[in-house]
């Protein structure tokens, strides 16, 4: 009996050592680096059309994380929405050559935004900076043209935030789940805007990635094949908003009882563009009013969302 207990003790100690060693390995390894294979792409021409389109997209896609109220520019801020990922600071992406992205080439930006690999250091950036894996080349070019423009939001500024301190969970997920995305092998054309469903799918999944927040769990989303995300559009992600309140994302599937199956197109357009909903007080941050969408775009998103599989998942707004 004594001998058995001794062996058991040694075994428990061994297991503890292995687990401890593994945890130490993850902590020290941190967020991994990869080899950056930046493609040679021709310089992106900055045209007024592209700057205008890029500003529209960036105001709905980059603003919420990179806009800093104190400077009125894209100088970055601390992101407190999902504290389990650690202390995360979005960076200064103004044209300042040292602190911002003034020295990044167009190829550097395209490569980083598509794959999540820093073109200079090889450092991988976890999903707290979204990657636009499927956005069309032209839309991405427009975003970059905007970043290069003389718009006040992106003029050089030396404001520099502290470095990110990713949590153990983030580091662990970088070992088992989060990976850089492959650089696209073929050109990515824009959607056929005469086909309402195809256009809506593009806007919902590939341009604005509404599924990322509106599915069950950021840790189980699949940006490559969004439809494979856990609880696709059934809602459930909990986020801390700018008032410190915990807000749960909602079920946008066409389920009549727990989703938006009974919403009219008009109700939906009002909710997405202005945050006004038929079932209670106005929508709260981090849901932003997508005010720059045209009505036609919002209607295309509605048409697409009517086609996703229904999920029964009731979510209380807690207000």
Q: Give residues in contact with ligand HEC (CB under 6 A).
A: 58, 61-62, 64-66, 79, 88, 90-91, 93, 101, 112-113, 118, 125, 128-130, 143, 164, 208, 210, 212-214, 239, 247, 249-250, 252, 260, 268, 271-272, 277, 279, 283-284, 286-287, 290, 301, 317
Helices (H), the chain: 2-29, 48-61, 63-66, 106-115, 137-147, 168-176, 196-201, 210-214, 265-274, 295-305
Encoded tokens for 189: 């054309």
Residues 33-53 as b/e (b if ≥16 CB within 10 A, e otherwise) read eeebebeeeeebebeeebbeb
Encoded tokens for 80: 């407190």
Least CB distance to ligand HEC at residue 296 (A): 14
Least CB distance to ligand HEC at residue 40 (A): 19
Q: Which is closer to ligand HEC, CB of 129 or CB of 188? A: 129
Q: Which is closer to ligand HEC, CB of 210 or CB of 223? A: 210
Least CB distance to ligand HEC at residue 260 (A): 5
Least CB distance to ligand HEC at residue 182 (A): 19
Least CB distance to ligand HEC at residue 65 (A): 3
Q: Which is closer to ligand HEC, CB of 1 or CB of 246? A: 246
Least CB distance to ligand HEC at residue 290 (A): 5
Q: Which is closer to ligand HEC, CB of 8 or CB of 242? A: 242
Q: Which is closer to ligand HEC, CB of 7 or CB of 27? A: 27
Spatial CB neighbours of 146, under 8 Å, sequence gap ≥ 6: 50, 51, 53, 54, 55, 57, 58, 154
Helix and strand numbers, DSSP H then E, in the chain:
10, 5
How far apart, in whole angstroms, are the C-alpha atoms of residue 208 and residue 284? Answer: 18
Least CB distance to ligand HEC at residue 282 (A): 7
Q: Which is closer to ligand HEC, CB of 22 or CB of 145? A: 145
Ramachandran region of residue 212, left (φ > 0), alpha (ψ -120 to 50) or beta?
alpha
Q: What are phi and psi of 53, to 5 degrees?
A: -65, -40
Q: Which is closer to ligand HEC, CB of 1 or CB of 46? A: 46
State whether the Cα torsion 152-158-162-163 is positive or negative: positive
Determine the 3-state secondary structure of 79 from DSSP. strand
């Amino acid at each position: 009996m004594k001998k058995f207990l001794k062996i058991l003790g040694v075994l428990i100690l061994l297991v503890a050592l292995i687990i401890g060693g593994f945890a130490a390995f993850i902590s020290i390894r941190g967020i991994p680096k990869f080899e950056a294979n930046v493609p040679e792409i021709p310089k992106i021409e900055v045209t007024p059309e592209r700057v205008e389109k890029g500003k529209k997209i960036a105001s709905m896609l980059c603003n919420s994380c990179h806009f800093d109220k104190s400077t009125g520019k894209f100088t970055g801020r601390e992101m407190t929405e999902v504290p389990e990922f650690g202390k995360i600071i979005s960076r200064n992406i103004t044209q300042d050559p040292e602190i911002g992205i003034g020295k990044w080439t167009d190829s550097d930006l395209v490569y980083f935004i598509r794959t999540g690999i820093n073109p200079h250091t090889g450092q991988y950036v976890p999903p707290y900076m979204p990657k636009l894996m499927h956005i069309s080349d032209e839309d991405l070019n427009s975003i970059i043209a905007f970043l290069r423009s003389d718009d006040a939001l992106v003029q050089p500024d030396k404001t520099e935030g502290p470095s990110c301190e990713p949590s153990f969970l983030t580091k662990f997920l970088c070992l088992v789940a989060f990976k850089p995305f492959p650089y696209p092998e073929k050109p990515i054309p824009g959607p056929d805007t005469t086909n309402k469903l195809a256009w809506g799918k593009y806007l919902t999944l590939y341009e604005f990635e509404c599924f990322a927040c509106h599915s069950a769990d950021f840790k189980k989303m699949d940006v490559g094949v969004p439809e494979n995300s856990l609880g696709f559009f059934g809602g459930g992600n909990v986020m801390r908003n700018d008032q410190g309140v915990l807000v749960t994302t909602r079920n946008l599937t066409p389920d009549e009882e727990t989703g938006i199956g009974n919403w009219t197109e008009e109700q939906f357009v009002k909710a997405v563009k202005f945050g006004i909903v038929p079932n209670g007080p106005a929508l709260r941050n981090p849901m932003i009013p997508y005010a720059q969408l045209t009505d036609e775009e919002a209607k295309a998103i509605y048409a697409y969302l009517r086609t996703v599989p229904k999920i029964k998942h009731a979510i209380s707004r807690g207000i």
